[in-house]
A and B are shown apart, each in its own frame.
Chain A
Amino acid sequence: DSGVTQTPKHLITATGQRVTLRCSPRSGDLSVYWYQQSLDQGLQFLIQYYNGEERAKGNILERFSAQQFPDLHSELNLSSLELGDSALYFCASSVTGAGANVLTFGAGSRLTVL
């Protein structure tokens, strides 16, 4: 157990739907990162939050949004889902939001869009 908790582990939904993925960071970590992993693109950085504020943005689609709450847990919202959104979504946390951080990853949420 890495200490980073992601729910749900598996999610199957239909195109056009909206889902929310949840992440609880490791105790003491202030920064949360979201990554999308697919076979063809690898692990792609989506977005980073530090202590409730957005810190960095990667290849996140406009249909996707995220936030970090005062208790430091984070949610990734995916809307108007398309077949191509099927992927593993990982949350990671770190103590600070600076570069060269050690990231601790959760076990991921596997999203299947039918």
Chain B
Amino acid sequence: TQLLEQSPQFLSIQEGENLTVYCNSSSVFSSLQWYRQEPGEGPVLLVTVVTGGEVKKLKRLTFQFGDARKDSSLHITAAQPGDTGLYLCAGTSNQAGTALIFGKGTTLSVSS
């Protein structure tokens, strides 16, 4: 059973479109992180959200942590080909112990 469920699994869009990817769990997380991974490389941290209801913006990317700290979303405005990659959410919870547990990720492809 996956502790963190991400959806959609795959997303293929045109440059300029908006999109949202989701990260959901039945468990409460003390924090959630979003990473982006490109082929042949390891994941790279984009943001950490800690407080329920928190919203963080990183240029065209908007991250939200659910009020109950069980879910998070990543919204990308006016997607560009450079946004292509695997987006992973990860979190720590009492159930997971001290380790960072990852969702399976959303593979985003943005074509020009």
Contact = CB atoms under 8 A, between A and B. Distances in A.
B78 interface: no
B87 to A, nearest CB: 12
B42 A42 contact: no
The interface residues of chain B, by DSSP majority, are classed as loop
Contacts of B48: 100, 102
Interface stretch (A12-20, A65-73, A78-86, A91-99): A91-99
Contact of B103 (A42, A98, A99, A107): A42
Contacts of B97: 56
Q: Looking at chain A, what size class is its interface with the partner chain? A: 20 to 34
A100 B41 CA distance: 22
Interface string A20-33: 00000000000001
A56 B88 contact: no
B31 A43 contact: no
Contacts of A56: 97-99
7 contacts: A2-B44, A58-B99, A99-B30, A99-B31, A102-B45, A103-B43, A108-B40
